[in-house]
C-alpha cells in the first residue's frame, strides 16, 4: 500500500462508521416521555379524586345519620302529640266534692 492510500482509508473509516451507526429514535423517546408525563398527571388526578370521593362518602354518611336522628325525633314528637290529643279527648274526670266542714261539738 502506498502511504497516501492508507491515509485515505483511515480518513474514510470514521465516515463509513458514522454512516452505518443507527440513528436514535427521537420520536419514540419523545413518545415515551409524553407517556410518562401523562401517567404521572393521571395518577395524581386519580389520587385527588379518590380522596375527594372518600371525603364525600364520609359527609354523606354523616348527613344520613343526621337525617335518621331527625326522623327518630319526629316520630317521638308525633307519638307525644297523639298521646296528648287522646288525653284531651277523654272526658274530664268528675271534680271531687269538697268535704263538708266538720262541725265541732260544743
Provide the residue ranges of all domains of the chain, joining segments of one domain with +: 64-88
**What percent of the chain clears pLDDT 70, i.e. is strictly above it?**
76
Comparing 4-8, 50-54, 75-79, the range with the smallest average pLDDT is 4-8
Higher-pLDDT residue of 74, 17 = 74
CA dihedral sign of residues 57, 58, 63, 67: positive
pTM: 0.50
CA distance 14 to 6: 13
CA distances (Å), origin 45, targets 32, 37, 42, 49: 20, 12, 5, 6
33: cell is 416521555
Amino acid at each position: 500500500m502506498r502511504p497516501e492510500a492508507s491515509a485515505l482509508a483511515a480518513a474514510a473509516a470514521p465516515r463509513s462508521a458514522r454512516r452505518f451507526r443507527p440513528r436514535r429514535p427521537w420520536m419514540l423517546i419523545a413518545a415515551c416521555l409524553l407517556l410518562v408525563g401523562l401517567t404521572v398527571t393521571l395518577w395524581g388526578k386519580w389520587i385527588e379524586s379518590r380522596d375527594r370521593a372518600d371525603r364525600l362518602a364520609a359527609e354523606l354518611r354523616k348527613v344520613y345519620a343526621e337525617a335518621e336522628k331527625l326522623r327518630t325525633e319526629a316520630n317521638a314528637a308525633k307519638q307525644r302529640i297523639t298521646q296528648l290529643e287522646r288525653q284531651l279527648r277523654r272526658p274530664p274526670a268528675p271534680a271531687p266534692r269538697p268535704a263538708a266542714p266538720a262541725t265541732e261539738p260544743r
